[in-house]
């Protein structure tokens, strides 16, 4: 990637904030399962909650490659903060991609400034990897809709100010019968569970959401039946951002492994002198480099406006699986110390595990890739 001068300045500011403010709070955020409100507020002060948006709608006009690098920097500092940030991006992407100018004007500038926080509600208890199975319904009711149903594992869902929700408006039309809506916090009939207790990304809260709401027609994102198409485009963006998150954490793990190998002595020799350690370090470096190249490729393609579903799926698949292996090897190189909470290795291993599941599991990514390659 070769960011412009503007991109470089913005990235420098974000990286500095991540080093000085977000990274020092990461361990406590995880230990206390604390939603990263202060970290998001600090990012909002740099305009980072609108990094995915064009200037016309309150964003800084950052390039797609620079956006990927920004997400990487936040994830390297704190996975939970990156998870909350990218969930917000999914919500605003849905409005940017599928909404009309009136809806964009209503939500996007405030979301970009950090005045309001978003969530993206697609997954259901019985419709995870296949959104076409969703049971959430939006039925015409006078001049609006009656939205009913349940969404599950929704990042930011219980703390967000607005949620982009996907529901079936025409049960006989398959995926073409899915529409998208904006539901605001405080809407009568909307409720959120307490946050789920999760293995990793403990500060990046996920919720079950229930809806029995009446919504005005103006809350619909785009025409009826356009929701599935909008969701798939949003997920292409999200998969690049997941790959970038994986890169950030994997880079931190690899750097920690290199430092450990250079500093730790066993039997009078540095760990780095042992061939077994050298091979582990080499394999980690190759996987990390391949993940970076795939992610850069997908981010560049996103910036051109051409279709990039294949590149996004490849980047997400490889980066998520490679990062998990890199963090596990880094923990192994640290021995028993890596297994303690005194070091971040075990947190990185836990945080990375979900990356092979959300925004489309590894199995779904393989299906997407195969369909593109087979035509």
The number of angstroms, rounded, from the C-alpha of 141 to the middle of its chain's C-alpha atoms is 34
Separation of alpha carbons 216 and 242, rounded Å: 33
Q: What is the CA radius of gyration of the chain?
A: 21
The SS3 call for residue 328 is: helix
Are the C-beta atoms of residues 159 and 123 closer than 8 Å to each other?
Answer: no
Separation of alpha carbons 43 and 49, rounded Å: 7
Kindly state the tokens that stand for 356.
């092979």
Are the C-beta atoms of residues 13 and 46 closer than 8 Å to each other?
Answer: yes
| Segment (H or E) for 209 | strand 206-216
Separation of alpha carbons 79 and 222, rounded Å: 32
> Which is the catalytic residue, given 72, 208, 346, 359?
359
Are the C-beta atoms of residues 316 and 241 closer than 8 Å to each other?
Answer: no
Look at strands 118-121 and 162-168 and give their pairing: parallel
The answer to whether residue 359 is catalytic is yes
The SS3 call for residue 256 is: helix
Per-position DSSP letters for 160-175, written without gaps between them = -SEEEEEEES-TTSGG
Q: Which active-site residues does the annotation give?
A: 359
């Amino acid at each position: 990637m070769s960011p412009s001068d503007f991109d470089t300045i913005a990235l420098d500011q974000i990286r500095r904030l991540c080093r000085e403010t977000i990274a020092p709070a990461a361990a406590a955020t995880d230990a206390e399962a604390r939603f990263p409100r202060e970290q998001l507020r600090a990012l909002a002060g740099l305009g980072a909650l609108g990094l995915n948006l064009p200037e016309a709608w309150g964003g800084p006009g950052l390039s797609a490659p620079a956006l990927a690098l920004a997400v990487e920097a936040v994830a390297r500092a704190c996975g939970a903060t990156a998870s909350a940030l990218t969930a917000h991006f999914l919500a605003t992407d849905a409005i940017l991609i599928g909404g009309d100018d009136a809806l964009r004007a209503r939500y996007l500038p405030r979301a970009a400034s950090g005045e309001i926080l978003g969530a993206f509600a697609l997954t259901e208890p019985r419709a995870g990897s296949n959104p076409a199975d969703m049971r959430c319904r939006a039925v015409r009711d006078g001049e609006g809709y009656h939205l009913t149903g349940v969404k599950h594992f929704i990042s930011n869902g219980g703390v967000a100010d607005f949620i982009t929700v996907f529901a079936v408006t025409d049960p006989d039309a398959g995926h073409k019968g899915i529409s998208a809506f904006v539901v605001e916090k405080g809407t009568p009939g909307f409720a959120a569970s307490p946050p789920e207790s999760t293995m990793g990304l403990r500060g990046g809260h996920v919720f079950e959401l229930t809806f029995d709401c009446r919504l005005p027609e103006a809350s619909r994102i785009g025409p009826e039946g356009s929701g599935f198409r909008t969701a798939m485009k949003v997920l292409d963006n999200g998969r690049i951002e997941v790959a970038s998150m994986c890169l950030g954490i994997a880079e931190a793990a690899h750097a920690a492994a290199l430092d450990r190998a250079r500093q730790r002595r066993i039997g009078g020799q540095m760990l780095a002198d042992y061939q077994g350690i050298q091979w582990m370090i080499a394999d980690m470096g190759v996987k990390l480099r391949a993940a970076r190249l795939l992610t850069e490729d997908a981010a560049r393609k996103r910036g051109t406006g051409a279709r990039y579903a294949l590149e996004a799926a490849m980047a997400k698949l490889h980066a998520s699986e490679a990062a998990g292996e890199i963090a596990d090897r880094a923990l192994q190189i640290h021995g028993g110390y890596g297994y303690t909470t005194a070091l971040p290795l075990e947190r990185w291993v836990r945080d990375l595990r979900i990356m092979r599941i959300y925004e489309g599991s590894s199995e779904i990514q393989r299906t997407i890739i195969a369909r593109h390659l087979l035509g």
